């Protein structure tokens, strides 16, 4: 690209390819010999889970363009073929790691998946007994004929297709049968130990069933069979303008989600062409959508095997999150927040502190009202029980429940109903917009007046993911900030116009424009010869106007450091355009999730925390928050722990190249530095971890 190229004509990187490149980086952890063996297996499962979601959410328009053989938006038959080729390459690498590296290493450690041909007589008897007593009663093989057409096969469910010889009970030669495997059955079973052996022997449910398929078809012979799994389009689309009751409409949509358009077919590696052709015609899928799996068709379920192995040496050393450095156990949160704001850096510091804040509010007789947004809270939520208890204690509880949190819809509908059943005020935000902001507002009577306290977060109110995701929790009694949050809650409930806010930036109203203005502010400082710097940390960067603003900043001489875990469409190191832009991705033991925005323009230095990534949907089709960190000490802590530590990482960091590929940062440093690689996550775990 020439130096005269305008940022308005940037050749953006392909978003889908960027997502797949992220999964390649995740898979690298399954390759690393220094990573504990069971954790390497878990990373393979994470990649499989990510690919499932990729197909469920991203592949429908690609396949549609392919089938129509015409351009539909950004998608064509060619883009579908290119994406499919990349996924096939990724899946092949997955199974190579699984079969050639991890299974042999597991066997050396005494953990073995025992195939039918390897089982001794005692194990075969156990497998047969288990099949007859626990599995066969739940199986209902369906022989296909005009009265029994191909059955509905649910999204991501395990099934068998069987080819038979001989005749059925009515003298017909219907040769194809389908066997659905109920989700309730465990996918991996630990067999009784061999006497005198310390080995842990396992059998997969697919291997167990295939060993006894003939038992399901007495009087006939099974000549061919294969396990198979179909991935379907699962992004719920509900016209909120048309429906009268969003909750009812979503519930109906959830029932249909399991049977959306087929997008991918996975079969056993040894599946015959005859059976493959039959399945392909049933699901109306092109050849590129077919995947032969030399192993379990669903590597995500390997977590069930991992959880049954008692081998601490094969797992990450247990990490115990420390209590937040700014909090004293037992001290009243209200008393502490009157002294100043508090940061909790999760999961290095314990999310239990956030739950304790809510618990104190629930139990405090002077607290009158609690308002909270609910996006993802986990299947069994302490937070929900605390809100219900608050209602029972006579407090006014308002919950803004996001019913359309992808793949959490069912849990959130249930939470909404449970909160309403005890008298909480439940609202569903603004029609057409997801409420993704994470905020909790507490109103308390003190000395004859009302005072507000708040919690804001870059992450979710989920105690489970709070142990795995890096996020910033922000506790405050700042009157300007809490007043803004009161207005945001009123807006979400009443849908009245927002008044001018003091500190908070709110999407879809202000956030997009304000962030571009911040970049422009830094760009102007650089053009005036003043100090200028931008450092941004987020999960994804896919908004084109924001990318163009960053390219203009780079052209003006601004050093732009982007810490983007996942998809990034901004090309780097384009001469005269993005030479000053560096993009790095941190893939570590923990999932990088915090959103932190740093802008320096001359003597102005701003740090913002946010619930939003720089994606078009986040800025213009969601309710998102960003708020400034104004306390100098807290601001410096955010800079150091979220930004500087990531920029110094040489072990878990990957650097984006101009062609969209990533290279490990460890390969770009000197031999001396390579001997002592730096992990930002390890530094923070050491700094904040509980020593007890």
Phi-psi label, residue 83: left if phi above 0, alpha if psi -120 to 50, beta otherwise:
alpha
289 closest CA partner among 262, 268, 324:
262
Annotated binding site for Mg(2+): 376, 406
- Residue 273's CB is within 10 A of a number of other CB atoms, namely 9
**Helical pair 246-257 and 409-421, crossing angle rounded to 10 deg:** 140
Q: DSSP readout, 73-98?
A: TTB-HHHHHHHHHHHHHHHHHHHHII
Binding residues for ATP: 50, 469, 565, 593
Cα separations (Å) of 20 from 14, 47, 82, 186, 654?
10, 10, 12, 29, 14
Contacts of 565 (CB under 8 A, 6+ apart): 22, 538, 539, 540, 585, 586, 587, 591, 592, 593
Backbone angles phi, psi at 115, to 5 degrees: -75, 165
Listed residue (598, 644, 597) closest to 625, CA to CA:
597
Backbone torsions φ then ψ of 406, nearest 5 degrees: -55, 125
Binding region: 50, 376, 406, 469, 565, 593
Other CB atoms within 10 Å distance of the CB of residue 566: 22
Catalytic positions are 436
Contact 440, 372 (CB under 8 A): yes
CB 500: neighbour CB atoms within 10 A? 7
Look at residues 279, 232, 236, 237 and name the one whose alpha carbon lies nearest to residue 258.
232
Instruction: Single out the residue of 399, 321, 393 nearest to residue 354, CA to CA.
Output: 321
Judge whether 338 and 366 are in contact, CB under 8 Å: no
User: CA dihedral defined by 21, 27, 28, 32, rounded to 10 degrees?
Assistant: 180
Q: In whole angstroms, give the CA distance from residue 40 to residue 52.
A: 19
């Amino acid at each position: 690209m020439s130096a005269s190229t305008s940022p308005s004509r940037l050749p953006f990187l392909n978003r889908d390819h960027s997502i797949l490149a992220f999964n390649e980086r995740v898979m690298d952890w399954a390759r690393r010999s220094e990573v504990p063996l069971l954790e390497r297996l878990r990373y393979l499962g994470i990649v499989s889970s990510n690919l499932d979601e990729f197909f469920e959410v991203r592949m429908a328009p690609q396949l549609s363009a392919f089938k129509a053989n015409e351009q539909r938006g950004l998608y064509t038959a060619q883009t579908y073929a290119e994406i499919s080729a990349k996924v096939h390459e990724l899946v092949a690498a997955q199974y190579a790691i699984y079969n050639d590296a991890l299974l042999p290493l597991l066997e050396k450690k005494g953990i073995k998946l025992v195939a039918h041909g390897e089982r001794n007589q005692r194990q075969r008897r156990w497998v047969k007994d288990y099949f007859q007593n626990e599995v066969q009663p739940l199986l209902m093989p369906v022989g296909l004929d005009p009265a029994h057409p191909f059955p509905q096969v649910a999204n991501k469910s395990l099934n068998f297709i069987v080819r038979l010889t001989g005749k059925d009970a009515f003298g017909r030669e219907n040769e194809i049968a389908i066997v659905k495997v109920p989700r309730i059955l465990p996918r991996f079973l630990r067999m009784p130990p061999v006497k005198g052996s310390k080995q842990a022997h396992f059998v997969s449910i697919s291997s167990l069933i295939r060993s006894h398929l003939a038992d399901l078809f007495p009087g006939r012979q099974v000549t061919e069979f294969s396990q198979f799994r179909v991935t379907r389009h699962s992004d719920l689309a509900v016209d909120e303008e048309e429906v009268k009751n969003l909750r009812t409409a979503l519930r109906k949509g959830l029932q249909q989600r399991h049977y959306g358009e087929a997008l991918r077919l996975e079969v056993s590696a040894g599946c015959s062409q005859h059976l493959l052709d039959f399945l392909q015609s049933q699901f109306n899928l092109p050849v590129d959508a077919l995947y032969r799996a030399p192993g379990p068709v669903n590597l995500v379920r390997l977590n069930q095997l991992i959880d049954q192995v008692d081998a601490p040496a094969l797992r990450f050393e247990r990490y115990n999150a420390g209590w937040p450095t700014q909090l004293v156990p037992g001290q009243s949160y209200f008393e502490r927040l009157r002294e100043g704001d508090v940061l909790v850096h999760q999961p290095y510091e314990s999310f239990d502190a956030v739950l304790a804040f809510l618990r104190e509010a629930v139990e405090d007789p002077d607290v009158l009202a609690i308002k909270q947004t609910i996006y993802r809270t986990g299947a069994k939520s302490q937070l929900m029980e605390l809100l219900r208890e608050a209602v029972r204690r006579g407090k006014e509880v308002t919950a803004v429940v996001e019913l359309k949190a992808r793949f959490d819809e069912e849990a959130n509908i249930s939470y909404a109903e449970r909160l309403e059943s005890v008298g909480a005020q439940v609202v569903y935000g603004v029609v057409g917009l997801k409420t993704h902001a994470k905020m909790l507002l507490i109103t308390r009577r003190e000395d004859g007046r009302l005072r507000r306290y708040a919690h804001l977060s870059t992450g979710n109110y989920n105690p489970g993911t709070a142990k795995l995701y890096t996020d910033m929790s922000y506790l405050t009694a700042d009157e300007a900030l809490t007043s803004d949050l009161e207005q945001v809650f009123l807006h979400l409930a009443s849908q009245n116009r927002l008044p001018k806010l003091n500190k908070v930036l709110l999407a879809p109203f202000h956030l997009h424009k304000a962030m571009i203005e911040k970049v422009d502010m830094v760009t102007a400082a650089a053009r005036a010869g003043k100090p200028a710097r931008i450092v941004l940390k987020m999960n994804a960067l896919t908004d084109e106007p924001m990318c163009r603003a960053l390219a203009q900043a780079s052209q003006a001489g601004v050093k732009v450091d982007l810490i983007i875990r996942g998809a990034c469409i901004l090309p780097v190191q384009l001469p005269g355009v993005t030479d000053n832009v560096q993009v790095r991705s941190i893939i570590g033991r923990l999932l990088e999730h915090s959103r932190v925005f740093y802008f320096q323009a001359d003597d102005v230095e701003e740090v913002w925390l946010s619930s939003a990534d720089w994606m078009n949907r986040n800025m213009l089709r969601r309710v998102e928050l960003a708020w400034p960190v104004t306390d100098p000490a807290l601001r410096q802590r955010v800079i150091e722990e979220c930004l500087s530590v990531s920029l110094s990482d040489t072990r878990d960091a990957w650097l984006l190249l101009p062609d969209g590929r990533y290279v490990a940062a460890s390969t770009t440093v000197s031999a001396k530095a390579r001997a002592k690689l730096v992990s930002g996550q390890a530094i923070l775990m050491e700094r904040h971890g509980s020593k007890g």
